[in-house]
Amino acid sequence: MPKNTNFPQTRIKKPEPELETDLDNWVIWAAWADRITFEEIFERTGLKENEVIARMRATLKPGSFRLWRKRVHQKVSIKHRKRFVLERRAEQEYGLNALHYQSMAELNADLEAENEN
């Protein structure tokens, strides 16, 4: 089933903390959310990706931090908007399931091949 938007949508299980009153909790909440990108965190807080990582490292227990970093690098999490947009475009325009690709280079190669045909 195709998605209706080109930007990530967050399914909320925990309510979003107030950004203005509790910045640390909001950053942790947003960093754990799979569909909130680092770009969106930067737009709302001004914190760059490396600053979010440093804040998570300082706040979380070591094991929780390792689990979070592993999750960010998996295909489940979409923490980079460019990657999300490319994968969504592949799904919508070409019917390609981007989760089957091992790297963005493979996905880009298939997209270029589709464009040539």
Q: 105 and 52: one domain? A: no
Alpha-carbon distance of 81 to 83, in angstroms, equals 5
- Per-residue confidence (pLDDT) for residue 3, from 0 to 100: 62
Contact 57, 65 (CB under 8 A): yes
Domain shared by 12 and 68, yes or no: yes
The distance in angstroms from the start CA to the end CA of the chain is 25
Distance CA 76, CA 93 (A): 21
Give the pLDDT confidence of 42-68 residue by residue, as tens digits: 999 999 999 999 999 999 999 999 998
pLDDT tens digits, residue range 19-33? 777 788 889 988 888
Q: Which domain holds residue 15?
A: 8-79
pLDDT at 117 over 70: no
Look at residues 3, 31, 27, 26 and name the one whose alpha carbon lies nearest to residue 15. 26
Per-residue pLDDT of 79-107, as tens digits, reads 666 666 777 777 777 665 555 555 566 66
